[in-house]
Amino acid sequence: MTITFRRALLALAVLPLAACSAPAETAAPAPTVTATVTETVTPPAPQPSETVAEPTESAAPTQTPQVSADVDKEDPISGRVPKIKSAKFQYDEGHDFNQMSPSADGVLRGRIVSLEGDEARYVPVRYASGDFVGPEGGMTYAAPIASDVVFLSAVGCKGNDQTINSAALGTEKCPRERLLELAAQGEPTSLITVKSGQIVKVVEIYY
């Protein structure tokens, strides 16, 4: 009897403990909040690429010699002696000043400006303000000086005299070498006679 009573007491003692240890009501899980963050990435502005221009080789412009407007078409180069103190240049019809070539056959009032070998470079002249002046640009002729050229100086062959006629034109005949010497110095101002593309006569003008 004693054992049965103890077992009964033990059973009574276990019941409250079982009640206390019963599992509690499971709480509902908290809702899950999902936040979506959208990040907008702005691409960097494109940088302008530096373009290096290729150098272009341009052809040099062709320069056309300027023919002076001070040309007297009523006074063409011819076999006659032109007016000495004319205010305009003589007319050389059809001459191409892009070419270094002789003036038309005849007598030109001009000036030898340089000498290359036996070839003289010469320009037309006109009278202005007490002096003979050449064109501002272009209008340059080139012709060889003939081996038998006639040179009549207005200041003598030594350059220390006055040898002229009433028209102030040279009268003293000097050797070809003297003419070449003066031509190399850019002289003289004279009446230049061209025949068949050669300078055959030079008569110095005294002024």
Token pair 């003589």: residue: 90
148: left (phi over 0), alpha (psi -120 to 50) or beta: alpha
Average pLDDT over residues 76-104: 95
Q: Which residues lie closer than 8 Å to 149 by C-beta, 6 or more apart?
A: 176, 179, 199, 200, 201, 202
Residue 137's pLDDT band, with cuts at 50, 70 and 90, is confident
What pLDDT is recorded for position 35? Answer: 45
User: Rounded CA gap, 168 and 152, in Å?
Assistant: 12
Q: Which residue has the tokens 């004693």?
A: 2
Q: What pLDDT, on a 0 to 100 scale, did the predictor assign at position 45? A: 55
> Would you say residue 16 lies in a domain?
no
- Per-residue pLDDT, averaged over 47-75, amounts to 59
What confidence tier does 70 reach under pLDDT thresholds 50, 70, 90?
A: confident
| Residue 98 in domain | yes
Domain residues for the domain of 135 are: 71-145+176-202
Going by pLDDT thresholds of 50, 70 and 90, the confidence category of residue 27 is very low
Does pLDDT of 13 surpass 60?
no
Of 170, 167, 168, the C-alpha closest to 152 is: 170
Q: Count the domains in the chain.
A: 1
Residue 168 belongs to some domain of the structure? no
Task: Look at residue 138 in the predicted model and tell me its pLDDT.
Answer: 78
